[in-house]
Chain A
Amino acid sequence: MGTSLPERLEAGLILVGRILLGLVFLSASLSKIVDPASFSRAIANYRLLPPELVNFFAVVVPWVELLCGALLLLGQWVRTCSLLVSCLLVLFVVAVGASIVRGLDIQCGCFGGGSGRQVGLRLLAEDALYLVLSIFLTIRGRESERR
């Protein structure tokens, strides 16, 4: 067990990263689970998915977020969950980026339908930051993190 400074820094970043991502995804999932209709409308507004898939997405995706968020907080299956979270974040970044390029005037729906945040560059930057963090966790994290 080496405990050089870079290693400790990395371990700290992994800890902070997984707790941050865990909390973000956990809290984001709950309001969507409670009100799937709003989330479904939010997804539909992005105009990326075929209409038949929108509701299925709205029903399942929040639960992926919930499980991954919880597991990240618990420090179990960290890399698997980070990989799944990375995939989700890639989708979000693409969706938000495409909306900005197309000039869509829509709400993000990130934390459920009523969160009222407008899609824009700030949101894109936030998602990109989470994505970098989750990729870092996927690569450098350990599957079972013990403090």
Chain B
Amino acid sequence: MEKMAIVPAEINSRGCLPWIRRGTLILFVSGCLGLLFNALSPRGIPLMGAEPLREHMGLPRIGLPEAWELYQGRQGIFVDARSEEEYRSGHIPGALLLDRERFESGISAFQELVPPDTLLVTYCSGEECGSSSEVAQLLKGAGYRTLRVFSGGWEEWSEGGFPVDGENPQALGPARGQGRQEDSDASM
């Protein structure tokens, strides 16, 4: 650990300048190559605008009360963006499985079942997973116009004791209050 102390001493010695010059050069060249390649590549992304990102972030997010309301009113279809394993273990009743990895292979079957003006509510495991937004973004690209991201996801839903379906729904969430187990198949 005392070796760490050598670094500042060496940087401060006269060996300092070439290091800074070379480091800066590498960063500068990387920046140029990155920007150039991104501008020329067909898979390039917008730089500062972060467009896909802003859209991705800009999808309407809803909380548990709204999700529950939509569920009860059977106003839309829930889309589970988690893995098949997680889905099988437990999901919101009536939710359709459509994860990011198999989106392309699954979307045509999905489109046969679900007309494009349907309200879709995507969710993933919890507050911090990104796949619900990503799948919502992909669904938007596939022509679905009314999308909501249920940000609390499976965690909030199952822990809240709301209706669940699946082989072993308790395995993934503690399911504290088990008050509301009525009404087990909605939407579909």
Contact = CB atoms under 8 A, between A and B. Distances in A.
Given A36-B38, A37-B45, A106 B26 contact: no
A62 B34 CA distance: 8
A54 B53 CA distance: 8
Contacts of B19: 79-80, 83
Nearest to B21: A80
Interface string B7-36: 100100000001100110011011101110
Contacts of A123: none
B7 A41 contact: no
Contact of A68 (B7, B26, B47, B52): B26
A103 B128 contact: yes
A44 B3 contact: no
Give the interface size class of chain B: 35 or more
B7 A59 contact: no
A60 interface: yes
A59 B43 contact: no
Interface in A85-126: 102-106, 116
Contacts of B23: 80, 83-84
A135 interface: yes
Interface of A: 33-37, 40-41, 44-45, 47, 51-52, 54-56, 58-64, 66-68, 71, 77, 79-81, 83-84, 102-106, 116, 135-136, 138-140, 143
Interface of B: 3-4, 6-7, 10, 18-19, 22-23, 26-27, 29-31, 33-35, 37-38, 41, 43-50, 52-54, 56-57, 101, 124-126, 128-130, 134
